[in-house]
Structure 1
Amino acid sequence: MDGEGVEPCGRPVFVNNPHLDALADDVLYHFSLGTKTHNLPAMFGDVKFVCVGGSPWRMKSFIEYIATELNMEDPKSEYPNICVGTDRYAMYKIGPVLSVSHGMGIPSISIMLHELIKLLHHAHCSDVTIIRIGTSGGIGLEPGTVVITKQSVDATFLPRFEQVILGKTVVRNTDLDESVAQELLQCSKDLNLFETVIGNTMCTMDFYEGQARLDGAFCSYTEKDKQDYLNRANEAGVCNIEMESSVFAAMCKLSGLRAAVVCVTFLDRLKGDQVNSSHEVLHDYQLRPQKLVSCFIKKKLMTKAGSQTA
């Protein structure tokens, strides 16, 4: 489908797959989009910021919040889901900001990222910053603390993402963009609304045993075993635990995207396993990454506008 898009400039979004060139139509199945059925450059060519998070509700809430912050809100708009043809993911857009849900865990976010990276590539986007906003369990932090990830580590505290491809284990780097992390930390200082730290994030394959919880359907270790493990994680610089950051960091690095992870902690895992704060408190916590990332985006857009008028 022909149409005028935004001409690429600056830092492009890379794909490394020669097989894509042979496709007459690249179907982004889980988004219900495609290169033949949709004018992706016209729809997404102006995207400069992508925010991703687990639930569709959270990502719609974010797009509504950022629209207000950027003075782009439309009282008559309900911010329609671009991926209305599927129930796998939800996607919302306002101006240069794209908001996408990714589900829970490494497999779900991995599928979403493959199609998102291709979408940005087909749309000729450039100079894109992508940020995961989410929730996590903290280690030695007060609930409600926001953690900006320095590096994602696995359950053995090593900075790597392992994936089996064609029967062979492939290890990928999980570094995130240090400059974006520092800019986000400065935004938190400017807001002065909640505690924010930079630290390592442990990414696991499971919510229960993989995170040393004692309250799953199965558990073969003791309270002491759990505490020893979490203390070792803390000594390795781990501030929080979630289930998406490693593959997120690895795939964003491969595609040339500047990436960051911003997660609020719901509890201190050294003091318990179950999330038992009130709905109101948890709702307030979930808004904190949104506020921080919105501040970052506003600041970047204001800086760009200032440089263009100078």
Structure 2
Amino acid sequence: MASSNKDPCKKEMTYPAKCVYVSNPYLETMNEDILYHFDLGTKTHDFRAMFGDVKFVCVGGSASRMKAFSQYMNELLGLGRATDDIPNICAHTDRYSMYKVGPVLAVSHGMGIPSISIMLHELIKLLCHAKCTDVVAFRIGTSGGIGLQPGTVVITKVSVDASFNACFEQNTLGMIVTYPTVLNECLAQELLKCNKEIDQFNAIIGTTLCTSDFYEGQARLDGAFCNYTYEDKMNYLHCAYEAGVRNIEMESSVFAAMCNRSGLPGAVVCVTLLDRLQGDQIGSSHEVLEEYQERPQKLVGCYIKKTFCKK
């Protein structure tokens, strides 16, 4: 038989709407589900009315960055101006912030695996309670690059741990359970196509190292403690590069794992602020860093606009 050259990522038929999946039989027995860290509850809020039309979820560490993203999408989708003051849905809690613009929900997650894990549990339940369908999830943020020019955007193919294993380990009841951390390949390729359309900065698909610490966990020499040498650091980073790692951050593994568990197509899109093979501290100006941080927003925004305009 002749081989097919068709793009496997392109749909050639109409598929039924796909819901966000949760796996917890106890949720059905609860009189009310209180999403404590969002200050939202199924008795006090109409989730279907508030969030039922959400098709795109974008999460990032900084509350101010997620507000800026929502304002950017407000203008990009022709729903308002970038200067509009988008209200924070979670204004009565200081844990996370949440902004909604049309079909786009932007949520902050803080720093590190524990913080984003808590947020994702409640976010996935929110999407399920709202009966959202065909949702796509993104994490945008900053990272340290390995062997890349600062300002390069890395679209994560797979997230690996400190030993370069492609899995997320969850300690549940004293037992270690592992979950795969491969992200949606088709979504990554679509984002790379968007970058070619934007043609303003370099973007690649690569492996991302997810750590539980900013300093020793990332082989930095500038923390309060350091019990390894410069040579040890460089050997480790070169081993990471040989394993395909092109950037380092602190949330991608649990994001990938929970997207897989819930059936959400997910992408991690992070800009590199420095090349860790050249040093540990970020030396670029505030203006340069601000422009770098806008790059993942532009890439994800391009994808959302293309998809939104098709509907």
TM range (shorter): over 0.9
* C-alpha separation in 2, matches of 1:203 and 1:160: 10
Displacement of 1:208:
0.3
Displacement of 1:22:
0.9
Q: Which runs of 5+ in 1 are unaligned?
A: 1-8, 305-310
* C-alpha separation in 1, matches of 2:118 and 2:284: 32
State yes or no: 1:42 paired with 2:49. yes
After superposition, give the CA deviation of every residue in 1:19-56 in whole Å (9 maximum; x if it has no partner): 00111110000000010000000000000000000000
Displacement of 1:64:
0.4
State yes or no: 1:219 paired with 2:226. yes
Which stretches of structure 1, 4 residues or longer, exceed 6 Å deviation after superposition?
Answer: none
Paired residue for 1:287?
294
Kindly report the root-mean-square deviation, in angstroms, between the aligned alpha carbons of the 2 structures. Answer: 1.0
After superposition, give the CA deviation of every residue in 1:234-255 in whole Å (9 maximum; x if it has no partner): 0000000000000000001000
State yes or no: 1:179 paired with 2:208. no
The alignment partner of 2:150 has SS state of coil
State yes or no: 1:53 paired with 2:44. no
- Counterpart mapping for 1:133-212 below 5 A: 133-212=140-219
Paired residue for 1:308?
none
Of 252, 256, 265, which residue of structure 2 is paired with 1:249? 256
* C-alpha separation in 1, matches of 2:207 and 2:82: 40
Displacement of 1:76:
8.3
Paired residue for 2:242?
235
- Counterpart mapping for 1:83-94 below 5 A: 83-94=90-101
The alignment partner of 2:128 has SS state of helix
The residue type equivalent to 1:302 in the other structure is C
* C-alpha separation in 1, matches of 2:52 and 2:203: 33
State yes or no: 1:265 paired with 2:272. yes
The alignment partner of 1:143 has SS state of coil
* C-alpha separation in 2, matches of 1:88 and 1:134: 18
Percent sequence identity over matched residues? Answer: 66
The alignment partner of 1:163 has SS state of strand
* C-alpha separation in 2, matches of 1:165 and 1:276: 40
Shift of the 268–40 alpha-carbon distance from structure 1 to 2, 3 Å rule, reads same
Paired residue for 1:118?
125
The residue type equivalent to 2:183 in the other structure is L
* C-alpha separation in 2, matches of 1:48 and 1:158: 31
- Counterpart mapping for 1:59-78 below 5 A: 59-74=66-81, 77-78=84-85
* C-alpha separation in 2, matches of 1:153 and 1:85: 36
Q: Which runs of 5+ in 2 are unaligned?
A: 1-15
Paired residue for 2:28?
21
Q: How many equivalent residue pairs?
A: 296
TM-score (norm: length of structure 1): 0.94
The residue type equivalent to 1:251 in the other structure is M
